[in-house]
Amino acid sequence: MLILIVDDDEHIRRFFCEILDMKNIDYKIASNGEEAFEFLKNNRLKFDYIFLDYSLPDEDGISVAKKIKNNDQNIKIILFTGWNKEKFDQKDLELFDGFIKKPFNMGEILEIIEENDGKN
């Protein structure tokens, strides 16, 4: 399994790394949309999940998810944000395979991976 974590907050990235390291799950880290797209352009990398923050410095997570889905409808994207779900249009939320509200814990992240793992 390979996961891409996209968040500009170093503490959040580090938290994800600790969780994924404990579970021996491979991952890559991007701090903005542009870095995420660079990983996605690399044909040797096939991500199972993208954990995508809504508030990124270069563009919002909805825009990033739309671009990703235009290239790969099958990639699983999990949105995480400090905002409540009600802030988002239902159509935008349909881009995502999961939603996590910050602050979150290790169990929430692992639960989403396990829930979605059987939906290939």
State the pairing for strand pair 76-81/26-30. unpaired
Cis peptide before 57 (omega within 30 of 0): no
2-117 belongs to CATH 3.40.50.2300:
yes
Sheet harboring 2-6: ordered strands across? 26-30, 2-6, 49-53, 76-81, 98-101
Among 22-36, 83-97, 101-115, the least confident range: 101-115
CB 12 within 8 A of CB 109: no
Question: What pLDDT band is residue 119 in, cutting at 50, 70 and 90?
Answer: low
Question: What pLDDT band is residue 120 in, cutting at 50, 70 and 90?
Answer: very low
Digit-coded pLDDT (tens) for 49-99: 999 999 999 999 999 999 999 988 889 999 999 898 998 999 999 999 999
- Backbone torsion region of residue 24, taken as left when φ is above 0, otherwise alpha when ψ lies between -120 and 50, otherwise beta: left
For residues 114 and 67, what is the distance between their CA atoms, to the nearest angstrom? Answer: 25
Overall pTM > 0.75: yes
Digit-coded pLDDT (tens) for 14-25: 999 999 999 899
